[in-house]
Structure 1
Amino acid sequence: MTLESLQQLIEEKPGVLLYFSGESCNVCHALRPKVKELFEQEFPLVEQVFLNAHEHPEISAHFQVFSVPTLIVYLGGREFAREGRAVSLHALAQKLRRPYTLMTEA
């Protein structure tokens, strides 16, 4: 994954989830399957991209990711939500439901 291909994906897809994690981050490893399941069930048109922040420092810097886990959701090519550290999946889902529904019904 390159920064250019990631930016192209954000521009072309209706929605993109960027999930930044780290190898030694236990929270990242525990949260990832829950995030994956949430997006597959409730937001299936959102492309999921999982990145190791330490393996992709240039991408992490570009998206201003300074801690893991960090989730950034793009809808319609624009950053819509950013969650870090203590992520509430329930709150994130509530935040995304209405705009996602409006976006996919059009």
Structure 2
Amino acid sequence: MNELFSIEEIEQFVSNHHLAFLYISKTNCGVCHALLPKVKKVMAEFPKIHMAFVNADDVPNIAGHLSIFTAPVLILYVDGKEVLREARFVHVEQFKEKVKKIYFLAEQS
């Protein structure tokens, strides 16, 4: 999984991939660290989605840039447009179903 360290890297990553997924975390966030392996497992089922990790502590201006108020935040983009955002307490099975629908629709276009 790519790790991104600036707003420019994030924008470039999103614009360079048809399906782009950001996992935004913080260093001392227990929920973030517990959720990450579960999200990786879900995303492994969708091989055409490119995943990147952002530590909000390393990119302090990300909060204002992406309107992030908590961590973790999971954002899925299709052709540079945000189509799914989940934050803090994520129900993994519901998240998986939402991604599955978006993935199927994106593959049809």
> Do Structure 1 and Structure 2 share a fold, with TM-score over 0.5?
yes
Amino acid at match of 2:87: G
Structure whose residues are more often helix by fraction? 1
One-letter amino acid matched to 1:34? K
The structural deviation recorded for 1:63 is: 0.7
Displacement of 1:104: 2.3
Count, aligned residues: 105
Residues 1:12 and 2:16 are matched in the alignment: yes
Q: What residue number does 2:67 align with?
A: 64
Q: Structure 2 matches for 1:1-106, cutoff 5 A? A: 1-40=5-44, 42-106=45-109
Distance in 2 (CA, whole Å) between partners of 1:74 and 1:21 is 17
Instruction: Specify every segment of 5 or more residues in structure 2 that has no aligned partner in the other structure, as ranges.
Output: none
Partner Cα separation in structure 2 for residue 85 and residue 65 of structure 1: 11
TM-score scaled by structure 1? 0.88
CA distance in 2, matches of 1:24, 1:39: 23
Where does structure 1 differ by over 4 angstroms across 4 or more consecutive aligned residues?
none
d(CA) in 2 for partners of 1:5 and 1:25?
A: 23
Q: What amino acid maps onto 2:56 in structure 1? A: A
Specify the code of the residue in structure 2 equivalent to 1:18: L
Distance 1:82 1:72 in 2: 5
Identity of aligned residues (%): 36
What's the TM-score once normalised by structure 2's chain length? 0.86
RMSD of equivalent CA atoms: 1.4
